[in-house]
Structure 1
Amino acid sequence: MRQEIDGGYLWSPVREASGARSSFYDNMRRAAPGDLVLSYAAGKVGRLGIVSDYAISAPKPEEFGTIGIYWSATGWLLPVQWLDADLAVRPKELIGRLAPLLPTKHSPIQPQSGNGNQKAYLAEVDRKVVDLILAAARLPAVDRLAKPTSPAADFATTLDDVVERNIQRDTSLDETVREQLVRARRGQGLFRKRVLDCEPICRITGLETPNLLIASHIKPWRACGTPAERLDGANGLMLAPHADFLFDRGLLGFESDGRPMFSSQLTDADADKLGLHVVQRPPPTPLHNDSQGYLNHHRINVFIP
């Protein structure tokens, strides 16, 4: 809780340690900008936050240290702007009114005792739960709360910076390899050459002029587990700049057969202004077999349905 409040985010693994799906972790991908989050720890709801962007695929934050040592190294990071007010509301003291409002499945709080459920992380609750907590904290109703005006922090860039610093310090890697890994972050060097060999044309626009294309990682550079993944040409697509941005943000994806998928969060109006509905796309062709694992990671961890 302390790390997430200070850092302005939520972070969870993608799955439980056993490999099972968790509705609490899946909610990280369902959360959308403007959603409200109540932070519960040590028996009390302490803070209220507002989701400022969609979750991104990200390594476990370094500041966690040994916390969750059994978790996978890569998970989902959800940017949250926490409001300054300290709520200090204890659900146990409200359980009579709170219990009827809690979900019957996947509740964050036990309706009989008011204790937190051990496996709960990010649970979906009724708006009335939020109103009750705010009233108990003597804070204004949700619709009268001041919304943050500062833009969402660029967590992807921040996390990439951390990974890059770790690469620069890794003396087990040859200096040339370290240089190529850093250049790969920006779609340059050996990685770009290898992607061009595999995917010389933008699958969205048909653009094939190399200096107008960006070598984009399919599995994000920060989420790659090895130097080989970061430099693998099969882990890349050559995309026009606007397609690269959409792909990186999860607003664009690809089926195994090469057909593009557009996120429900990309409005038709915005897609029209980007020319996505009128562009003469090249016929879809299946991606290379070596790219399918990376593509599956993107569809599960990056693409926003």
Structure 2
Amino acid sequence: MQRFWWVNHSPTADREVAGGYLWSPRAERGGGRSPFYDNMRRAGPGDLILSYVRKRVRHLGRVADFAFAAPSPDPKEPRPGWQLPVTWAALEPPISPQTIIAELGPLLPKRYAPINPMTGLGRQKAYLCELSAAAAAVVLDRARWEAARLDGPGEAFPRAAAWVDDRLEAAVAADPGLDATQKQALVTARRGQGIFRENVRALEPACRVTGVANPWLLIASHIKPWRDCDSAAERLDGANGLMLTPDVDLLFDRGFLSFADDGTALVSPRLDAVDLGRMGLGDLTSRARRPFRSRQAAYLAWHRRWVFLT
């Protein structure tokens, strides 16, 4: 079911619209949860987003893929967060909520409204808020936009994740604290090669789902993604990886599949069971299981919390 959202992002809007995404921290600075940041994980492909910037709704966005864990695009603020791929189109003319608040106000959510229902002005800390279809229509009926621009190219997640990884790889290459050998090991680890692959194969010689053991048919996949690792050691740690066949790697990397500590496969409710069956994986949760080591379990807990789509 398509959802509708409103984002208040004046300080970062130009960068995010140009880059085709939204980014938010995972939590408040004190560590507390924010329903507005949690909404980044609730948004899904095909949802529509109204972009509120400088007292106007200036763009309409279509969510291109699910949000994924990613550090802040601002190197001055290296906080962990969520990045949501979005295709944007300008609204002409930009809409002032203040001019339509009499009609829009009563349709706003009673809790977590993005703007003041009386004045039409944006609310601080109300980052991403869900709207009803009726509320979104009040705004969209007053503007024009190029629908074709919202289609955008496919493969949103691979492109967005590669953009983040490229930026971090450049930082690794420029790190004066690493020698050439260390830099090479970290760069190849990003692609599941080199020392990282050897370390993973020492612990996981075969795909846990399919049982395939031929190394030519397996991908060394990070459990805690390369882009989210806190240190070089995590990026090279064999316990932070699984050897997976390409189809299983895709599901795991994208958050449609995870594992419990006892080895039970966990399937995301956002994955169509029919599609899973067509892949020959319809019996995932009933397959034989093998418990993970404690070091692996720590990374899997991270994957279930920050990657797995619930």
For normalisation by structure 1, the TM-score amounts to 0.91
Q: What is the CA–CA distance in structure 1 between the aligned matches of 2:278 and 2:288, rounded to whole Å?
A: 22
Q: Which amino acid aligns with 2:153?
A: S
Greater strand share, 1 or 2? Answer: 2
Task: Tell me how far apart the structure 2 counterparts of residues 5 and 149 of structure 1 sit (CA, whole Å).
Answer: 13
| Native 8 Å contact 1:15 1:21 kept in 2 | yes
Secondary structure (helix, strand or coil) at the match of 2:242 reads strand
Match of 2:128, SS state, is coil
What is the aligned partner in structure 2 of residue 136 from structure 1?
A: 142
How far is the alpha carbon of 1:103 from its aligned partner? 0.5
The answer to whether structure 1 residue 223 and structure 2 residue 228 are counterparts is yes
Cα distance per residue 1:38-95 (max 9 Å; x no partner): 001211111101001111111111xx354xx3xx622111000001334421112221
Corresponding position of 2:81: 75
Are positions 1:233 and 2:242 aligned together? Answer: no
Question: Is 1:194–2:199 an aligned residue pair?
Answer: yes
Alignment counterpart, residue 101 of structure 1, candidates 90, 94, 107? 107
d(CA) in 1 for partners of 2:155, 2:206: 32
Q: Find the aligned partners of 1:303 and 1:261 in 2 and give their Cα distance.
A: 9
1:118 to 2:124 alignment: yes
Corresponding residue for 2:248? 243
Mapped to 2, the partners of 1:178 and 1:281 lie a distance apart of 41
1:304 counterpart residue number: 309
1:272 aligns with 2:284: no
Counterpart in the other structure of 2:19: 7
Deviation at residue 37 of structure 1 after TM alignment: 0.3
Distance 1:210 1:281, change over 3 A: farther
Percent identity over paired residues? 46
Contact 2:265–2:285 under 8 Å retained in 1: no
Q: Following the alignment from structure 1 to structure 2, what is the Cα–Cα distance between the partners of residues 48 and 113?
A: 22
What amino acid maps onto 2:131 in structure 1? V
| Pairing partner for 1:28 from 27, 40, 57 | 40
Cα deviation for residue 145 of structure 1 reads 4.2
Cα separation, 1, equivalents of 2:270 and 2:285: 23
For the aligned residues, what is the CA RMSD? 1.9
What stretches of structure 1 move > 4 A for 4+ residues in a row?
A: 144-147, 278-282
Deviations 1:192-217 (A, max 9, x none): 11111222221111122222211100
Unaligned 5+ segments in structure 2 are 1-12
Q: Does the 8 Å CA contact 1:47/1:87 hold for their aligned counterparts? A: no
For 2:49 and 2:155, locate their aligned partners in 1 and report how far apart those are by CA, in whole Å.
Answer: 15
Q: Partners of 1:165 and 1:109 in 2: how far apart?
A: 39
Where does residue 148 of structure 1 map in the other structure? Answer: 151
What is aligned with 1:214? Answer: 219
Give the SS at the match of 2:198.
helix
Counterpart check, 1:288 vs 2:293 = yes
Unaligned runs of 5+ in 1: none
Change (3 A) 1:208 1:121: same
SS at match of 2:309: coil
Distance (Å, rounded) in 1 between the aligned partners of 2:285 and 2:232: 36
Contact 2:55–2:122 under 8 Å retained in 1: yes
